[in-house]
Amino acid sequence: MKRKYFGTDGIRGRVGEPPMTVDFIMKLGWAAGRVLAREGPGLVVIGKDTRVSGYMFESALEAGLAAAGLDVLLLGPMPTPAIAYLTQAQRATAGIVISASHNPYHDDGVKFFNGDGFKLPDRTEQAIEAMLARPLEMVSPAEIGKASRMEDAKGRYIEFCKSSIAFHRSLRGMKLVVDCANGATYHIAPAVFRELGAEVIETGTRPDGMNINRDVGALHPENMRALLLEHQADAGIAFDGDGDRVLMMDARGELKDGDQLLHIIAKSKLKGGRLGGGVVGTQMTNLGLEHALRALDIPFERAAVGDRYVMEKLLERGWHLGGESSGHIICLDKTTTGDGIIAALQVLDWLIERELTLAEACDDLQIYPQMMINVPLEARLDPADSPQIGDAVRTAEAELGDSGRVLLRPSGTEPLMRVMVEGRDAAQVEILANSLAQSVRDSLGAK
C-alpha cells in the first residue's frame, strides 16, 4: 500500500502547510492513538527538538491522543534517541518525536517509536493513514486520556548515555569542543562529557526556537573548527538538530564523517569481542570502509540510503552495528536507534583505551575520492531502461576494477539522477563521473 503522508522517517514538511498544520497534527495524534489503543489503553511519550513550532504541535498531539483515550507523558526538548530510550524505560505503548532533524526551523515533522524503542513497522503506519481517512470520534468523557510531564527526563538520559561506556572509563584530560546545533542536545551533550571528566567548550547551546541548525552543528562544521583551533582542543563533536547524527573533528581541524567513526567503533567492538556479526552501510558508504573492514575479516553489507533501511538489514542479519556517512550510527548493543552522543562516546572510549588521537585512529582507513553529479531530468526515469547507460556503466566499472564503484540512483523526491563514482585515483573518478553524467543527459532527456 502506497503511503500518502509517511516518508522514510515519519511525516515532515513546512510549518503551516499540509501536512504540518495544527488540525492535521491533532488528527494524526487521534489516528495514531486509535491504532495504538487496539492493544489496550496505554501511555504515549512525546518529546521535541527546539523549534518554536514544537510547542504548538506538542499540544495538538496531546489533544488528539487524549481524544483517543491514551495518556500522554511530555518530555520537553530531548534528542530523538532519548525519546526512544525513555519510551522503553517507561514501558510506554509508543513514543513520538516532534522534529525535522537537520532542516531549518520553518520545517517540522513527526516520527514514531513503538514500545520497544524501534521505529514503527510499515503496517502500523499504513493503519494510521487508513484511520486518518475516518472522521474523528472522541472516546467517552470518562475515557479521555490524561497528560503529565516528566521532570527528570534530562537526568535519566544523561545517566543512560554515560552507562554506554565502561564504569571506570574517564575522559579526564581531554578537551572537547561540543556543538549542539542549537538543537535537542543543547542541555544534554555538554553535561554528559563534563560528568565523564572532559573539559568542554560548548557552542550551539542557546536555542531561541529559530536558530536550530543555523550556521552551527554537523551541517556547519566550520563553527566547530574555529573553536577547536582557537582552544587547541583534542577533538570536536557536532550534532544535528535532533541529536541522532554526529560528526567529529581531529585536533588538526580535519572532519571525520560517519564512515570513519563507524570504522573506529567496529575495531573497538571487534577487539572487545562485542561486534556481534558484521557491519551494515548504505549505497553511499565509501568503498574505502568496505575494503578496510574486509582486511579485518569483518563482513559488510550495503542497504538503501536511509537509517530505516540500515536498521532493517541489521535486524535481518542479527548484527549490531551500522550507519551512514552522514553520521547516523546505530549501535544495537547499546540502544535501539541512531544516537549521536552514544556513538561519540564509543569513539572516545577507543581513543582512551588505545592512547590514540582521533587522527591516529583514522590513519588505517583510506577514504577514496568520491564524486557525485546530480543530473536534472524531464521526468523521473529508471537508468535500467536505457541500454546506452548500461553500456556506459559497465565500461566505467571495467576501468575501475576492484578499486572503485559506480552508482546511479534516481532521486526519490525530484526528477534527478544522482551519478556517483568513487575510486583510488581522483583524476580517474572525475573523468568517469563526468562521462557517465553526460551519458545520462544524452540517453534520458536531461533538462
HSE-up of residue 186 (Cα within 13 Å, Cβ side):
22
SS (H, E, C) 53-106: HHHHHHHHHHHHHHHCCCEEEEEEECCHHHHHHHHHHCCCCEEEEECCCCCCCC
Using DSSP's 3-state secondary structure scheme, residue 224 falls into helix
**Please, are residues 305 and 288 in contact by the beta-carbon 8 Å criterion?**
no
| Whole-number Cα distances in Å, 23 to 48, 192, 297 | 18, 38, 53
Q: Which three cell numbers stand for residue 388?
A: 546506452
Inter-residue long-range contacts of 57-62, CB under 8 Å, 24+ positions, other chains counted: 57/20, 57/22, 57/25, 57/98, 57/108, 57/110, 58/98, 60/22, 60/23, 60/25, 60/26, 60/29, 61/25, 61/26, 61/28, 61/29, 61/96, 61/98, 61/110, 62/29, 62/147
- CA-to-CA distance for 130 and 127, rounded, in angstroms? 5
User: Which of 406, 411, 405 has its CA nearest to residue 375?
Assistant: 411
Catalytic residue among 53, 59, 99, 101: 101
The H-or-E segment that residue 330 falls in is strand 329-331
| Residue 214: DSSP 8-state | S
Active site residue 268: no
The H-or-E segment that residue 109 falls in is strand 107-114
**Please, are residues 76 and 149 in contact by the beta-carbon 8 Å criterion?**
yes
Q: Look at the alpha carbons of 253, 326, 217, 370 in this order and tell me if their dihedral is positive or negative.
A: positive
Q: Which three cell numbers stand for residue 405?
A: 564503484
- CA-to-CA distance for 82 and 75, rounded, in angstroms? 10
- CA-to-CA distance for 301 and 291, rounded, in angstroms? 12
Peptide bond before residue 190 is cis, with ω within 30 degrees of 0: no
- CA-to-CA distance for 101 and 109, rounded, in angstroms? 8
268 phi, psi to nearest 5 deg: -65, -45
Looking at residue 160, its amino acid is F
Active-site residues, by number, are 101
